[in-house]
Amino acid sequence: MAKVAFFNFSYTDTHKIFSVGKNSFIRLKFKLNTKELKKRRILNLKENNNIISLVKENGEIEYYPDLLNIQIEFYGKNNVVELHEPLSTFSNCRIILQDNSSVKILKQQEHQIANLYIFARYSTGINISIGENCSINQLNIEATRSKDLICQIGNNCMISSDTMLRLHDAHTIYDVNTKLPLNKPSKGIVIGDNCWISQFVKILKDVEIPASSIIGIGSIVTKSFEKENTIIAGIPAKIVRENIAWDRLNVFSYEENLMRNELNV
């Protein structure tokens, strides 16, 4: 009896593998071209109900666009990432989601979103949003191994380098007698419109920052505040000045503009 040849095709993320024989004693590996790679990636995303959408400036929506400066990784199902043009405002960003989570970044017309790292691996129900016209120099949003939490950043916010929003503690603190946890987060982090988050700032779980706040350099914010137009600073952070506002101009340029405007009046 003649032997029947056995052929099989399989895939890795980057290669197509052709095997001959039941024991795969002949195995050929072909590198997929760019078009095939994208096709297989989109197919995998759709099978797991993971959606990437780009809202264009004319209002049209493009699904699964080519992204050069944003790395998006899904390790589970039912995730949504919504971005808005122009994509040129993004630089060296990375988003990692596990299950049932979302990231929404609105239009950034004037400023850049750079070195934004969103980590929600081994998590479910994490919902993150960044408002319009924000600037980010370097921000880590840490939501690994957590569930059902939000992180909201309002419009016109300015976030400096080496900053962190930690939606939960990495480990459990519990009562000695009852054994019940004492540090379980209840909601996440909310930052209002027009906030300036200075360098080296860390904002911890369940904190709400009101609109038009300044968080001083190196501060660790452990509780929520309600009053707008304040400077919040220190470890732990507290209100150190009230009735303030801020401008993106440095103080010398701002003062020159102010004097020029007064002369024109």
pLDDT of residue 19: 58
- The predicted pLDDT at position 4 comes to 47
Active-site residue list: 168
Handedness of CA 108, 111, 112, 118 (dihedral sign): negative
Q: How many beta carbons lie within 10 A of that of residue 90, not counting itself?
A: 19
Q: pLDDT at position 242, please?
A: 98
Question: Residue for token digits 């405002």?
Answer: 89
What's the length of the chain?
Answer: 265
What pLDDT is recorded for position 183? 96
User: Are 172 and 148 in contact, with CB atoms under 8 Å apart?
Assistant: no
| Predicted confidence pLDDT, tens digits, the chain (265 residues) | 455 445 555 555 555 555 555 555 455 555 555 666 677 778 888 999 999 999 999 999 999 998 889 999 999 999 999 999 988 889 999 999 999 999 999 998 889 999 999 999 999 999 999 999 999 999 999 999 999 999 999 999 999 999 999 999 999 999 999 999 999 999 999 999 999 999 999 999 999 999 999 999 999 999 999 999 999 999 999 999 999 999 999 999 999 999 888 777 5
Contacts 24+ apart (CB under 8 A), 83-89: 83/52, 83/53, 83/54, 83/55, 84/54, 84/55, 84/108, 85/54, 85/55, 85/56, 85/57, 86/57, 87/54, 89/113
